[in-house]
Structure 1
């Protein structure tokens, strides 16, 4: 990677004084470690709701500035040897702003907790512009203890993509990845993906993605293990210079039922594709204590608002359902409020739709109100899929404005199906690529033998009918449009939709 280090390393352990406000921010000019004081300065006006939804009580922060001499990459982190990590270590929160004292501010990047129940914070490989002043803010949302952080700046002219979006899951084996173009736009992007989360960047399966003329770029991952999870990194290839890797980001391919998730498996990033609510780890000595179903451990949480009605949504990973499949959804919730406050009820809906977005959640399956802080409450609902496809269940926190901040903990998700064992076996069939130009591939993880394949158009006309144990179908002679492929095996039949380009 072609980069030029523009700053000399500073001596470790520099005390940074006069940090209490924007006007008295400590100006950092060299790479190195910086020792803070107790977090007791002024919280930036207008920052709440910009990087983070809420501040400490009372809100406080420490201020630092950094002005890069050239374009480059900035990393700020408290995850260093000087600070204890894990759930018993320091609990920092970091935001990096640009603007001027008094605002308005622009949130350049932020971080609360690192993965794996590490409450330290890091903003890594943030592209920064020469001559722009960046405000580095450490606040007291969770902890006001003094600590040490590291700042590193490296000059560069080739930059990783700045923003990534949720993957578009096409099937149980394929997904499209999306990200905003780098500036300047490179020749191509290198994409590295692997089912092993621990595989370092650059060591997985490498593919190349074109930059294109749009504001975003995309790459297709196909032929992955059905219903698996994978991590991916992306870097700009400016030929010959390469940017830093952006990532890791994670994809969670749709699953077939039954499915369960207790948020306890670190190999699945604990969440296993459940997004938008925050993850909490509790123990018998923490506050709150044992707020995971079954005792100490991990759970997800949301909370009400004391200034407006809540409108927070979270989504399960995708479920690959067949037409007429009845799903029983079960999960548990429990309330919590910091003493001496008494928890207020939390209202929420179980929703379902075709995407992990508010616009895509077209159906309210059932509405709930939880009033119990004494123990977990079990909730059950059923949903029947009207057509075959990928469905996303969601939790919509729509609690009215409250007077007491109350948390809703969610745990022990379970989804079961009414399908027979034969139906479950057939549900493992997948097709790719989709859309397809030339050859459509049929795969299944159970090695079920195919007897025949029939393709029909949207009007029900049969356009191909082939017998035998087929895994690939040539569709290059078909007109562009939507088609259905019916796969017949000894266990029965299943139908999949595909688009011919």
Structure 2
């Protein structure tokens, strides 16, 4: 089915009453009549009885443009009459000779369908609607129902409130009063005839008929394209394509896109024009953004231009962020962060899609504002991955607050015997990972907020990603606790003296690869050493300024040696046992 070509039909003459109170001053001064016969009128959003009155949060739009709420006609709009003049064809009587009126249009338009915007004051009513064409022929729709302005269906707008003209008492309401949309289908033989005017005759019912506007699904012999699914989408572009019947003489196309799903009208200015093929790549888009788009045809036929197509949509990919950047987890997990990943190890990367990191109150206080993982059940392994960062412009540091608290508590808790939480970095968008920090039973954090800072010297990729990796391991230990992270920040590297200077102290180990004994080059500032495997599990711990590490019992493979210094900083190096 072709997309509709909706066009408002501005009224040139025929309104008989002003039933919309607007601007500053008593309602009686800005209206000439009521809607319902018992003193109630509509109210516009800018109405104020006096200059000091509280501005309204409801009412008819000051622009006079009604965007229809009927789901079957997305993009249909109505244009109300002048809020400072007469704006309703108001018909109260059912008596012939006093029960009709005609709205003439500024610009006649041919149509497949005509849509009437109306309501019944103080009851329902029935009208006959006659569409008058410029060739002096007409088409009549008999016994058209108009609902009472409270509670009816097929409303174009609701919850607009009303006012008592006699005392300026306002009656706000979230769902009433309402204006209704009625569809009138033009006969095939009349579709090409421009509509000059429409006559409405009230024939039955106790309600007062109020007709406010008409819109057209305008006739065209230039068919709108049929959109295909979006093709290649990047962080700043999207490929869109469409088809059109071979019988249509299309010579070019327009593309309109927006972050709003409000459909364009004939007056909307396209973003791109003169496209000669049926595929186009929309450039200069924002990353991680939902877009809506429409396409229309230009033809060599009489109508020359089609209506806009039905809408398409796509979401651009996450683009690399150039710091400074902060995620305080007010919205979890954060734009372009990923918490729906699980399993695996830092060596393999994630293997599943289960979410184990959730939003929680930092260190057990409240229920939101930080990221947390609960480590209690064995086999639980979760990842929290950041947005990608472009660190190519300089040297940066990463920092965040962390801590541990017992489950559903602010109390302290140890970590389990093989529990591990690690902070990881990847210079290749997450293909390979490097461990920057490990927390385990030996150096478990407390239930006091602690800031971690790491100077990212040497990490200058244009696609750097960080991750928090947490695993309960295989032992189902008794500690039941949450590990918390908050205020994740990447910024220019200007470390304060009070910050933990990750990466400042560097101690080498040798030989590498080694056979049984691993030597530490300088142990003067060393407090302890841990050795972990690729799963993050700590398998050896050495206390004090130890120089030789006896690792003869380990199997051949890759290991991570973390050296903890007396000032609280640390350094992790990879080593291989032959």
TM-score by length of 2: 0.30
TM-score by length of 1: 0.34
